[in-house]
Amino acid sequence: MLMGNLLYDSQTGLGNFFGLLKAATNTVFGTKGTIITLDLTELIKDETNDKKTIDSCIRALAGLLRAEIARDDYRRMAAFRIGEGEFVIVLPEKTQAEAESLATEISILFREKAFWHSVPNAEIRTSIVTYGEYGKNGVSVSTILKAAYLALADCRYTEFPMHLPIWAEKLIDHMVERVYETLGLLDAAFTLALNDEVSGLPNYRAAELFFEQMLEEYRRYGEPCSVLLIDGDNLKQYNLLGYQQGNQMIRQLATLLKKTLRHNDRVARWLSGDEFLVFLHNADRCFAMEVGERLRAAVEEGSKDWPYPVTISVGVASCPEDGVTREELLVKAEEANNAAKRGGKNQVCEAQDCYSTVHARVRECIEESGRG
């Protein structure tokens, strides 16, 4: 469940240092190619740039790298953020000339984007190192790490030897293997601690982490976000069928909710058996109301053939208008959910008021989205 979080940088969506280790360990880089490093260290050290500006530049660069990865001629390219302002691009089978062309293109595009972020003098320090044939089973982890280090070091350590003693090569590879094994153990431990066995969803401990991550994005970037508190309507009738049937219904309900959401939104099982929390990143109240209605309709339609068809009541709370802390948003979401229950269930409500299922507020939001 959480291995992706261990291997990816949450701010950029690129692989992190551990992701680089995994890719190198799995020999996905082939036996030859080039490595480009992009270093924004000087930009970060510049005291005239505030944190928000720096973050914007880092995200802009990450967006450029993701766009390059999507191109057919660079489909084997892999990009990683391995430090605050340090990025590594691995280009299997690409020549030095091809790498230089790509590095120049990225630098030009980045300067254009940085200008719009009010950093007209922003520069990327780029460096390129070639790795060659190092065996039939692919390039070794130690070779990739050395090449990346050489590129980042650039002129500071021009005499650093590419060829280390055999014992040093084996030591590096051995240490990387142990690190990757430890990541696997951490992932297993996190999964046990943060996974709900019945629904297969993250549990309430994970939900608290998701809450903090979502609010941290709001504090950092000022983007709106929303939370949906979902409560099943009259699900106790499944108790008549038995424990196993009740658990099966919860699993099916969790699957319906999960597959209806965007890939970057999250749903977790909350405190009681039929409560769920949905976290919507970069989502204002209107969008959250639309998502709530989509979930409500999906459950009503998807459960028609179950032993007992079920419905849900959805309470919507949005940041910043309903609060900027977990406690404030939970209170508002609970108020909205209670209003949905009082209004007849199978409804979507916001904190201030409650409307019928096919209510004017949802239609209003959809019309506003269309005008936008």
Q: Which of 135, 164, 191 delimits the end of a domain? A: 191
More confidently predicted of 274 and 47: 274
Peptide bond into 320 cis (omega under 30): yes
**pLDDT above 90 (res 323):** yes
Mean pLDDT of 338-355: 84
Helix 204-221 vs helix 326-342: crossing angle, to nearest 10: 120
Same-domain status, 180 and 159: yes
Rounded Cα distance, 87 and 325, in Å = 33
Give the C-alpha separation, 130 to 91, whole Å.
9
Q: Which domain holds residue 31?
A: 3-191
DSSP 230: E
Q: Determine if residue 359 is left, alpha or beta; phi over 0 gives left, psi from -120 to 50 gives alpha, anything else beta.
A: beta
Report the pLDDT value the prediction gives residue 118, as an integer from 0 to 100: 67
Examine the domain organization and report whether 183 and 58 are in the same domain. Answer: yes
pLDDT interval class at 357 (50, 70, 90): very low
Shared-domain flag, residues 163 and 264: no
Per-residue confidence (pLDDT) for residue 322, from 0 to 100:
95
Place of tokens 């430090």: 83
- Look at 119-123, 320-324, 326-330 and tell me which has the smallest mean pLDDT: 119-123
The DSSP H or E segment spanning 4 is: helix 3-7
Confidence of residue 161 (pLDDT cuts 50, 70, 90): low
In a domain, residue 198? The reply is no
Same domain? 82 vs 226: no
- pLDDT, average across residues 20-31: 77
Both 36 and 185 in a single domain?
A: yes
State the CATH number of the domain containing residue 248. Answer: 3.30.70.270
Pairing of strands 311-319, 86-92: unpaired
**Residue whose token pair is 């990450």:** 62
Which ranges constitute the DSSP H helices of 71-165? 96-116, 141-153
pLDDT of res. 151? 63
Residue 277 scores a pLDDT above 80: yes
At 55 the pLDDT is 84
pLDDT 10s digits, 82-140: 888 889 898 888 888 888 999 999 988 888 877 666 666 677 888 877 776 444 445 56
> Tokens in use for 202?
């993250």
Are 154 and 177 found together in one domain? Answer: yes
- Establish if 334 belongs to a structural domain: yes
Q: Are residues 227 and 138 in the same domain?
A: no
Banded pLDDT at 370 (limits 50, 70, 90): low
> Any idea what the Cα angle at residue 42 is, between residues 37 and 47, rounded to 5°?
150
Position 196 in a domain: no
The residue among 188, 22, 153, 136 whose CA lies nearest residue 90 is 22
Of residues 282 and 135, the one with the higher pLDDT is: 282
Percent over 90 (pLDDT), the chain: 33
Residues 133 and 231 in one domain: no
Structural domain includes residue 40 = yes
Residue 87 gets which letter from DSSP? E
- Assess whether pLDDT exceeds 90 at residue 181: no
Please give the pLDDT value at position 144: 72
Which of 65-74, 152-161, 238-247, 318-327 reaches the highest mean pLDDT? 318-327
Q: Tell me how many domains the chain contains.
A: 2
Q: Are 212 and 326 in contact (CB under 8 A)?
A: yes
Which of 100-114, 124-138, 183-197, 228-242 bottoms out in mean pLDDT, i.e. has the lowest?
A: 124-138
Sign of CA dihedral 20, 23, 26, 27: negative
Mean pLDDT, the chain, whole residue set: 82
Summarised one tens digit per residue, pLDDT across range 287-320 is 999 999 999 999 999 999 999 999 999 999 999 9
Q: Using alpha carbons, list the distances in angstroms from residue 195 to 9, 11, 132, 262.
A: 21, 23, 43, 20
Q: 74 and 125 in one domain? A: yes
Residue ending a domain, among 191, 223, 255, is: 191
| Among candidate residues 348, 283, 366, the one with its CA nearest the CA of residue 321 | 283
Whether 126 maps to a domain, the answer reads yes
Instruction: Examine the pLDDT at 355 and tell me if it is beyond 70.
Output: no
Q: Are residues 170 and 252 in the same domain?
A: no
Higher pLDDT, 224 or 121: 224
pLDDT of 268 higher than 90: yes
User: Is residue 137 one of the residues assigned to a domain?
Assistant: yes
For residue 346, tell me if it sits in a domain.
yes
* Alpha helices (H) along 197-349: 204-221, 243-260, 285-302, 326-342
Residue 138, phi-psi category: left (phi > 0), alpha (psi -120 to 50), beta (remainder): left
Q: Tell me: pLDDT of 145 over 90.
A: no
Q: What is the pLDDT of residue 343?
A: 92
Examine the fold and report which residue of 170, 191, 212 is the final residue of a domain before the chain moves on. Answer: 191
| Apex 302 CA angle, 297 and 303, nearest 5 | 105
Helix (H, G, I), strand (E, B) or coil at 33: strand
- Gap between the Cα atoms of 3 and 191, Å rounded: 9
Give mean pLDDT, residues 18-39: 81
Burial class (CB in 10 A: 0-12, 13-18, 19+), 28: middle
Same domain, yes or no: 138 and 75: yes
Give the list of residues 6+ apart from residue 191 with CB closer than 8 angstroms, or none. 1, 2
Is 148 part of a structural domain of the chain?
Answer: yes
Same domain, 104 and 216: no
CA geometry: angle 224, 229, 235, nearest 5 deg: 160
